[in-house]
Homo-oligomer: A and B are copies of this chain.
Amino acid sequence: MITIRKTSEESITALTSREVESQDVTEVVAEILADVKQNGDEAIRAYTKKFDGAKLAELHVSEAEISSAIQETTPEFLAVLEQAKQNIQQFHEKQVQRGFITTDEQGTVMGQRVIPLEKVGVYVPGGTAAYPSTVLMDVLPAKIAGVSKIVMITPPNAEGKIPTAILAAAKIAGVDEIYKVGGAQGVAALAYGTESLPKVDKIVGPGNIFVATAKRMVYGLVDIDMIAGPSDVLIVADESANPRWLAADLLAQAEHDALAQAILVTTNEELAQAVQVELQAQLDALPRKEIAQHSIDNNGKLIVAKDIEEALAIANQVAPEHLELCVAEPFSLLGKVKHAGSVFLGHYTPEVLGDYFAGPNHTLPTEGTARFSSPLSVDDFIKKSSYLYYSKEALHTVANQVIDFAEMEGLSGHARSMRVRKEEL
Contact = CB atoms under 8 A, between A and B. Distances in A.
Q: Is the interface of A mostly helix, strand, loop or mixed?
A: mixed
Interface in A362-418: 365, 369-375, 377, 379, 383-392, 394-395, 398, 401-402, 404-406, 408-418
Contact of A334 (B227, B255, B383, B387): B387
A405 B80 contact: yes
Interface in A59-90: 76-77, 80, 83-84, 90
A252 interface: yes
A386 B401 contact: no
Given A76-B404, A421-B350, A360 B110 contact: yes
Contact of A222 (B117, B358, B372, B409): B372
A343 interface: yes
Interface stretch (A41-49, A242-250, A303-311): A242-250
A34 interface: no
A345 B109 contact: yes
A94 interface: yes
A161 interface: no
A398 B353 contact: yes
A158 interface: no
A340 interface: yes
Nearest to A401: B80
Given A387-B334, A414-B252, A416-B248, A95 B76 contact: no
Given A342-B387, A354-B388, A129 B248 contact: no
B390 A358 contact: yes
Interface stretch (A9-17, A175-183, A263-271, A282-290): A282-290
A337 interface: yes
A35 interface: no
Given A292-B413, A372-B202, A410-B128, A245 B100 contact: no
Interface string A189-229: 00000000000011000000000000010011011000100
Interface residues of A, number: 123
A23 interface: no
A51 interface: no
Nearest to A340: B385
B385 A375 contact: yes
A134 to B, nearest CB: 9
A345 B391 CA distance: 10
A28 B103 CA distance: 49
A418 B384 contact: no
Interface of A: 76-77, 80, 83-84, 90-91, 94-95, 97, 100, 102, 108-113, 115, 117-118, 128-133, 165, 201-202, 216, 219-220, 222-223, 227, 242, 244-245, 248-249, 251-252, 254-256, 282, 285-288, 292, 330-331, 334, 337-361, 365, 369-375, 377, 379, 383-392, 394-395, 398, 401-402, 404-406, 408-421, 424
Given A219-B227, A349-B390, A360-B387, 19 more contacts: A113-B334, A129-B410, A222-B372, A249-B417, A251-B416, A252-B413, A288-B411, A292-B413, A339-B385, A341-B385, A343-B388, A344-B389, A345-B388, A345-B389, A352-B406, A353-B418, A354-B386, A360-B388, A370-B383
